[in-house]
Chain A
Amino acid sequence: DAKTTQPNSMESNEEEPVHLPCNHSTISGTDYIHWYRQLPSQGPEYVIHGLTSNVNNRMASLAIAEDRKSSTLILHRATLRDAAVYYCILRAQGGSEKLVFGKGTKLTVNP
């Protein structure tokens, strides 16, 4: 099965950029990389996803390595409301509809 590896925790200061890494060396060539976040006492919410090229939306940017074995979620200016657990997610293997979550990175944002 595909597997994702993320740091357990990261810390940032408010208004500064944050780069959250994810390794997924066994990713299939056709699989999207998804990022979700979970705020305390809430269900996960979608952040961004991409296939090969870098992606931007109003919440974040996603930088995907050329070999697709890693990706980085970029929060351009962290706010206190961005404090959450961030998950990088793949499909279990090419063609499977089973999803594999990493353990997630707990982001702390300091005022």
Chain B
Amino acid sequence: EAQVTQNPRYLITVTGKKLTVTCSQNMNHEYMSWYRQDPGLGLRQIYYSMNVEVTDKGDVPEGYKVSRKEKRNFPLILESPSPNQTSLYFCASSLSTGFIYEQYFGPGTRLTVT
């Protein structure tokens, strides 16, 4: 089954403790991206990747890192999480760039930073 998976689905952590949220897709997609969703602000793009080793900033990249060493995986790294990063995170993938193809979204990761 074609899908985007995220782990963990729920995470409660403390300020400053490094964490990684994994994202994996099994569709051989080139384009992957991370979003955060906050009440009243909708979905905002954090980072995106056009292919292996090619990443770029979205609208709200501060406090986040990403890497794309393999085509299927696009982990989101929070080196020193802070409470303002408490949010619902979505990973998405698309066949290619140019926003020509539909995006497939993962189920979401709810992160709470205390």
Question: A residues engaging B (CB < 8 A)?
Answer: 31-32, 34, 36, 42-46, 49, 87, 90-91, 97-104
Contacts and interface: CB of A to CB of B under 8 A. Distances in A.
Interface of B: 31, 33, 35, 41-45, 48, 50, 56-59, 90, 92, 97-100, 102-108
Contact of A97 (B42, B99, B105, B107): B99
Given A43-B108, A44-B105, A45-B105, A31 B99 contact: yes
Contacts of B98: 97
A43 B5 CA distance: 11
B44 A97 contact: no
Given A97-B31, A101-B44, A46 B59 contact: no
B107 A43 contact: yes
B23 to A, nearest CB: 12
Given A43-B90, A44-B90, A103-B42, A98 B56 contact: yes
Given A97-B50, A101-B44, A42 B100 contact: no
Contacts of B35: 101
Contacts of A46: 102-104
B48 A98 contact: yes
The 8 closest A-B pairs by CB, nearest first: A43-B105, A46-B102, A101-B43, A103-B42, A44-B105, A91-B99, A43-B108, A43-B90
B107 A99 contact: no
A12 B106 CA distance: 29
A102 B45 CA distance: 12
A36 B58 CA distance: 19
A104 B99 CA distance: 19
A102 B44 CA distance: 9
A98 B107 CA distance: 21
Given A32-B99, A44-B43, A98 B31 contact: no
A93 B33 CA distance: 17
Given A98-B59, A99-B45, A43 B106 contact: yes
A99 B42 contact: no
Nearest to B102: A46
25 contacts: A32-B99, A34-B102, A34-B103, A36-B105, A43-B92, A43-B105, A44-B43, A44-B92, A45-B105, A46-B102, A46-B104, A87-B43, A90-B99, A97-B48, A97-B97, A98-B48, A98-B57, A98-B58, A99-B48, A99-B99, A101-B42, A101-B43, A101-B44, A102-B42, A104-B43
